[in-house]
């Protein structure tokens, strides 16, 4: 396997550090708009970096990405950029007849008249529109293969196959007790992506289809494991709700994220001021996106690891019936920032996101996962994935509720 990794930010850099310890691939080209950032990611590997090389590429330039795939004979494109670049990279991989893997999906657009009741363009719609063409070509686009979406979807597949005869509800629940020294407000993940998913209308699936609600709706307190404890979680737009019902029978699917009151208030204020907008505005002689300005004013999440303390938990709560009796379980994955920094030099949130596509690439390389078309993680067997994740030194857990 020869991999083109596009994006050398926090998650992309963590991908290189995890992959460098595995032997399943022949070469990995690390490409970024900022060549120095790609070079730094490769240089940091030291003696382990012999299979890696850095290149410059504009992720929005489909022709340039396709040419880079062909020049290095890469058969896989791993997208570690933000969701704005999903479609050009998706199309570039198709043009070069390469397998495509991403950790987020094509962007949504709210319904123009009823944004908090009906779906407009849903997450991933643009990719699924091309599913038949990918399948006809015998090519695979594995979409939503991070931690959430990604591992959370694998958990849902495992629950459906191994733990339940009938599923009533699947609820992805994400929480943490992370703190960052020296900052009053310092998101642990891309603020651009966080604004996108938290301020868009959340999507909920019920047996008759998808609908939307208001941002931060249906608050509930969820008790997270590993000492994190109770965290209030609210509805957020996320890919799992759009992916799981395509392959798993469930009467209801939700995604709720433990944001915290302060974070929610900041997001609401950004929205009130129009600072969540992506369309450029004129500032003196410059045209700038307000959301890009917000991101530029905050610390890079990848640099916060030394100041960060605590754990992050991603997981999937499932309610249903097994052997005629009601059952509820929470399947989860916890990463301690102290461990991820000591072991890999990557903070917990970006490491937890990055490990999952590397596991998936290894399964594709060995043939344990294979398919054609546009497929989510829940379209594949969960057992080999969870076994390999444990072999990477990052075990998962199951708690009866």
Cα separation, 132 vs 213, in Å, equals: 31
For 266-285, the pLDDT digits (tens) are 888 998 999 999 899 998 88
> Domain span at residue 193?
151-351
- Please, what's the b/e burial string for 295-321 (b: 16 or more CB within 10 A of its CB; e: otherwise)? beeeeebbebbeebebbbbbbbbbbbe
Residue 371 lies in a domain: no
State the CB neighbour count (10 A cutoff) for residue 393.
Answer: 12
- Please state, in angstroms and rounded to a whole number, the distance separating the CA atoms of residues 305 and 337: 7
* 201 and 330 part of one domain: yes
Same domain, 302 and 159: yes
What is the average pLDDT value for the chain, to the nearest integer?
95
**C-alpha distances out from residue 76 to 89, 218, 362, Å:** 11, 40, 11
The CATH number assigned to the domain holding 250 equals 3.30.360.10
Q: Is 119 a member of any domain?
A: no
- Cα separation, 144 vs 146, in Å, equals 6
Provide the CATH number for the domain around residue 50.
Answer: 3.40.50.720
Beta-strand relationship, 209-212 and 220-224: unpaired
Q: Do residue 160 and residue 95 come from a single domain? A: no
Instruction: Give the pLDDT confidence of 303-340 residue by residue, as tens digits.
Output: 888 889 999 999 999 999 999 999 999 999 999 999 99
Instruction: Tell me the pLDDT tens digit for each residue of 242-273.
Output: 999 999 999 999 999 998 888 888 888 998 99
Quick check: 30 and 68 in contact, CB under 8 A? no
Tell me: pLDDT of 75 over 80: yes
| Domain end (from 36, 70, 102) | 102
Residues 241, 218: Cα–Cα separation, whole Å: 15
Cα separation, 142 vs 79, whole angstroms: 11
C-alpha 154/C-alpha 390 separation (Å) is 14
Q: What is the pLDDT of residue 341?
A: 96
pLDDT band for 190, please (50, 70, 90 cuts).
confident
The residue among 89, 65, 66 whose CA lies nearest residue 79 is: 89
Q: Is 372's pLDDT higher than 80? A: yes
Q: Please determine, for residue 184, whether its predicted confidence score (pLDDT) is greater than 90.
A: no
Dihedral sign from CA coordinates of 262, 263, 267, 268: negative
Q: How many domains does the chain divide into?
A: 2
Whether 126 maps to a domain, the answer reads: no
């Amino acid at each position: 396997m020869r991999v083109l990794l596009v994006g050398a930010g926090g998650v992309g850099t963590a991908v290189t550090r995890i992959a460098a310890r595995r032997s399943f691939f022949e070469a990995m080209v690390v490409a970024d708009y900022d060549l120095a950032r790609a070079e730094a990611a490769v240089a940091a590997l030291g003696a382990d970096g012999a299979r890696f090389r850095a290149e410059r590429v504009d992720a929005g330039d489909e022709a340039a990405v396709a040419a880079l795939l062909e020049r290095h004979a890469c058969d896989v494109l791993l997208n570690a950029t933000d969701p704005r670049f999903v479609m050009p990279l998706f199309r570039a991989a198709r043009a070069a007849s390469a397998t495509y893997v991403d950790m987020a999906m094509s962007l949504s657009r709210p319904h123009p008249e009823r944004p908090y009741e009906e779906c407009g363009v849903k997450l991933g719609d643009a990719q699924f529109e091309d599913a038949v063409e990918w399948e006809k070509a015998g090519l695979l686009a594995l979409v939503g293969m991070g931690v959430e979406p990604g591992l959370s979807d694998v958990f849902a597949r495992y629950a459906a196959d191994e733990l339940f005869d009938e599923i009533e509800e699947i609820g992805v629940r994400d929480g943490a007790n992370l703190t960052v020294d020296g900052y009053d407000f310092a998101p642990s993940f891309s603020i651009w992506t966080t604004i996108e998913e938290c301020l868009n209308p959340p999507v909920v699936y019920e047996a008759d289809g998808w609908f939307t609600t208001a941002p931060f709706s249906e608050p509930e307190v969820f008790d997270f494991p590993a000492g994190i404890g109770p965290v209030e979680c609210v509805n957020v737009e996320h890919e799992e709700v759009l992916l799981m019902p395509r392959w798993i029978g469930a009467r209801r699917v939700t995604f709720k994220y433990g944001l915290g009151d302060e974070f929610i208030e900041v997001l609401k204020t950004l929205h009130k001021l129009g600072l969540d907008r992506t369309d450029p505005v004129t500032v003196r002689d410059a045209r700038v996106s307000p959301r890009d300005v917000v991101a530029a004013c905050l610390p890079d999440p990848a640099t916060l690891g030394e100041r960060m303390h605590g754990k992050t938990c991603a997981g999937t709560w499932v309610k249903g019936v097994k052997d005629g009796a009601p059952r509820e379980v929470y399947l989860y994955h916890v990463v301690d920032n102290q461990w991820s920094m000591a072991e890999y030099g990557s903070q917990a949130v970006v490491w937890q996101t990055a490990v999952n596509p590397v596991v998936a690439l290894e399964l594709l390389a060995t043939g344990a996962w294979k398919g054609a078309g546009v497929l989510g993680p829940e379209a594949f067997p969960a057992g080999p994935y969870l076994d390999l994740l444990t072999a990477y030194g990052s075990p998962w857990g199951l708690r009866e509720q």
